[in-house]
Amino acid sequence: MCSFADLSRAAYYKSHYKSAYNELNDRIINYIKEVQQETCYGVGYRPMTAMINNTLHVQVNKKRVHRIMDENNLLSAVRRKKYSTEQYKRRKELKANKPKDLLKRNFFCGTPRNHFVVDITYLFGLEKMHYLNTIVDLFNREIVAWKISEHPDSQLCIDTLLELSEHCNLKGSIIHSDGGSSYDNKAYMDIVNELKITPSMSFADCYDNSAEESVNAIIKTECLYNRFGKTKFKNRRIRCAEVLKRI
């Protein structure tokens, strides 16, 4: 059992350690402020850690320096994180639970409305870029749903899938896509799960979704290149109205 003297001694050392810890934090904060003001917030927490250890002659780790910089709004303005900590955590969870490639380049299906492939392709225009998202039935390579948008985002993919669900019972079907961010996100996956669809994704190369890629190639070759010329289309010399009309 600890005596009263032992407890008093422990409290003293704890108080002394806390005081020294706070004093060092204040020195680090003041030093970081000076550096960031001189460099217009151009130093990240990793090089800042090395500078602190060399200049102040202390040993602190990068996690502590990052926390101090974050709490005092002293983080570098160069190459800030694209997402918040919560977003990175959610993206990590999504990555860990990514759907597997269920088709494995087997693009034959003997039953209609059972296996689908989906992809987004670019529509070059004079004024702006548009994006075409198509869903193809592997039973007969029919385009069963399609949407065009100015943004290649998950909303485009969701709208296309909902259009298909309006005239087709998708429960138990498989929809296969590449691992692009338009499909590999929570909003899109929530709709897929809500419609009782089994998702399938490929991450290796374009051949894993070649059935859909070939449909996109046919659309551009027989709908656009033969009318406008591939070079004119690719170099965005055709007005958007004409491109969309042909699609």
Under DSSP, is residue 87 helix (H, G, I), strand (E, B) or coil?
helix
The predicted pLDDT at position 28 comes to 95
Nearest to 47 by CA among 17, 25, 79, 16: 79
Tell me which residue range forms the domain holding 156. 115-246
Q: How confident is the model at residue 51 (pLDDT cuts 50, 70, 90)?
A: very high
pLDDT at 4: 47
CA atoms of 159 and 135, how far apart (whole Å): 11
Provide the CATH number for the domain around residue 203: 3.30.420.10
- Based on the fold, state whether residues 54 and 139 are members of the same structural domain: no
Same domain, residue pair 152 and 220 = yes
Q: What is the DSSP letter of 107?
A: -
Going by C-alpha positions, the residue among 219, 202, 220, 198 that lies closest to residue 210 is 202
The pLDDT tens digits for 172-187 are 999 999 988 889 888 9
Question: For position 5, what pLDDT does the model report?
Answer: 52
Q: Kindly state whether residue 203 falls inside one of the protein's structural domains.
A: yes
Interval 175-229: pLDDT, tens = 999 988 889 888 999 999 999 999 999 987 889 999 999 999 999 999 999 999 9
**Gap between the Cα atoms of 65 and 128, Å rounded:** 45
Tens digit of pLDDT for each residue in 115-155?
Answer: 999 999 999 999 999 999 999 999 999 999 999 999 999 99
Q: Is residue 136 part of a domain?
A: yes
Q: Is 141 part of any domain?
A: yes
84 assigned to some structural domain = no
Out of 37, 54, 71, pick the residue that ends a domain: 71
Residues 237 and 127 in one domain: yes
Total domains, the chain: 2
| Interatomic CA distance for residues 157 and 119, integer angstroms | 9
pLDDT at 9: 56
In a domain, 194, yes or no: yes
Instruction: Evaluate if residue 240 carries a pLDDT over 70.
Output: yes
